[in-house]
Structure 1
């Protein structure tokens, strides 16, 4: 009996070490090495996720399938499944199926991998594992400051674009990192972390991500006052943006001259496309049409880069309604999180929406992977909140 208990303890200790290494790889190494090479985002997360999954199988031989099915049957899960189905169906009429299909499959597998990895996490997150989130964000910010100084001095090796992408990733992961420090009641650490990250983003400079952070901070402030009301109205606003986006180019486009600013010319170009789309306004041109269309010359250089334009052009009216429902339900689910976590969920969701709306990031593979990492980070944080009624998992569906 003693030998069996000793073996079980050794097995648990090894699994916990494996879990800690996996968390460090995903949330510390990934954003840091993203500063040096864009390939890091595609190499390190699968390795870290596999380590977490392996550790979870040792600590709990059966994955918590109830949480997985609960999410898939929630409002957010059903909306995500319908959107995925419509994107798959659009491969039948996209003009570039050989390019669109691999991108879509990779994106769907990336997002789907969050479910088993989150289910493999222990019911309670140890403080040491929780601190990997702010550690990874802080190291990324400090690395960006050093690389930006070297680039400014003419001695830098990393490209400016790599630094910007790294800081965009850090600004997204900043929200679950702040949630982690808030759960540990480390107000000074939270403030210091935010200051360092913002300073690094300014030095990069990650202008679009800083603008998105400003909107996210505003949403966070309102959520501190009343998370449910804030989530409800922000969800309605975001859904209205997706559904009503074409009205802006249709109404304003004819009034814009050919010598207007580039941002206005993009609105005019979208309006001209809508007029000529015909039935495509309902079905779209198929997934990945916009991405392929830019470099193949099918779309004018003045066309918008916003996720609003991309959804309408790729997936049409049906796709716009699907993602509008998904965003609305996601905001409601974020607002339904425990009181100490909800504002950070709403801040992160607003940051992601603003990044897409501004055209900084939309459905690129690296951004999809970062969104998956952010969801995994929030799942880790949710299990670090022991004072809630349901500390073992985030509440995916609103009550």
Structure 2
């Protein structure tokens, strides 16, 4: 038992260090999450023996688990027609281990975190936010001192991680009685996001806070309807997003969003949408976006459309699912999202609002951000879900002593 507690303590420290690790090295979270998951896995194995495997496998027999497994099976099956199987495998080798680690962490860590974990994790996020704000105010001098790139966008991944993690972690801290700390955590995270140049992070922050507030104030069915409609439209309209924006987006908005390359993003969406129309049924194959100008569906496109495919991703994860996995992949993704909402619907009102806020923030970011299969993104989502589930778990006795 003492060995298991030691492993849990080490895993909790690793989990708490995700935000500062990302602030220092913006691709580091997958390694940190894998380490944390391994520590908790070893602890549960020492404590439960073979029961640890049953703990991990039990949710996979439910509706959400079956939908997720079906989606992942379709991803693997698409290797059969991927024109670049080595690229598909390389993408999976980054995404797959992080996904497994994130799932194990979210499944095993809640209920086993030491009592001091919430304030430690809050302090770590505070340090990460202060580091980002200070670096930006100092003209990226700390990055030059550390021998790192001093471009402002190096903090995009860290602040996107902060967006996802802050709400669930504040909920956990609040649930353990540290109310002022929870409020300060949210305010400081918002300050770091606003200080950064990441429009996606600001968009996620606004969407998450607005949805959490609405879900807290309105009956559950309205919150579920709002999020479900938003997710459904984002997925269904993804192949024609570029055409819709090209026709109806006012020039004044493009002018205001010039720093976000909005015109280029619309052109990219039109190009990938045209490729989806050329092969809507099965897609080009998992992980092929990096070489999309060379896939069969792109060969008949006009030269100006093929040129925009060379960016390597459609800047929209919903559209990426369509382009790589076709209509069946989109249907399976829709099933995962809707069944997740059904599972969230049974939560008590406060965690229900936090969960919907997390989903709204993640969806808003996924609508405009980089590739769907990036390991750092998967690690951030896994960390956020772990904190949310920890807030739902019964606290250790010493937490309330």
TM, length-normalised to structure 1: 0.82
Distance 2:61 2:241 in 1: 35
- Between Structure 1 and Structure 2, how many residues are aligned? 374
Aligned position for 2:363: 353
Tell me the secondary structure at the aligned position of residue 51 of structure 2: coil
Distance 2:158 2:294 in 1: 24
Does the CA-based 8 Å contact 2:119-2:173 persist in structure 1? yes
Distance 1:25 1:36 in 2: 15
1:217 Cα deviation from its structure 2 partner: 0.7
* Pair 1:173 & 2:165 matched: yes
Q: How does 1:1-399 map to 2 (within 5 A)?
A: 12-28=1-17, 30-121=18-109, 123=111, 125-151=113-139, 156-157=144-145, 158=148, 159=150, 160-225=152-217, 226-250=219-243, 263-264=262-263, 266-267=265-266, 270-271=269-270, 274-275=273-274, 280-293=279-292, 299-301=309-311, 304-359=314-369, 362-384=372-394
Distance 1:281 1:68 in 2: 35
Alpha-carbon spacing, 1:147–1:245, altered in 2? closer, same or farther (3 Å): same
Distance 2:204 2:274 in 1: 31
Q: Which runs of 4+ in 1 moved over 6 A?
A: 254-258, 294-298
1:181 Cα deviation from its structure 2 partner: 1.5
Alpha-carbon spacing, 1:355–1:254, altered in 2? closer, same or farther (3 Å): closer
Tell me the secondary structure at the aligned position of residue 283 of structure 1: coil
1:264 Cα deviation from its structure 2 partner: 4.9
Distance 2:112 2:21 in 1: 28
TM, length-normalised to structure 2: 0.81
Alpha-carbon spacing, 1:86–1:134, altered in 2? closer, same or farther (3 Å): same
Tell me the secondary structure at the aligned position of residue 373 of structure 2: coil
Unaligned runs of 5+ in 2: 255-260, 296-306
Does the CA-based 8 Å contact 1:133-1:176 persist in structure 2? no
1:47 Cα deviation from its structure 2 partner: 2.0
Tell me the secondary structure at the aligned position of residue 135 of structure 1: helix
Point out the more displaced range, 320-329 or 109-118. Answer: 109-118
RMSD: 3.2
Does the CA-based 8 Å contact 1:131-1:181 persist in structure 2? yes
Distance 2:64 2:341 in 1: 9
Post-superposition Cα deviations, 1:302-341, rounded to whole Å, max 9, x if no partner, equal 9841112211111111111111221122222223223332
1:24 Cα deviation from its structure 2 partner: 0.9
Distance 2:132 2:275 in 1: 45
More helix by share: 2
Unaligned runs of 5+ in 1: 1-11, 388-399
Does the CA-based 8 Å contact 2:98-2:375 persist in structure 1? no
Point out the more displaced range, 171-180 or 219-228. Answer: 219-228
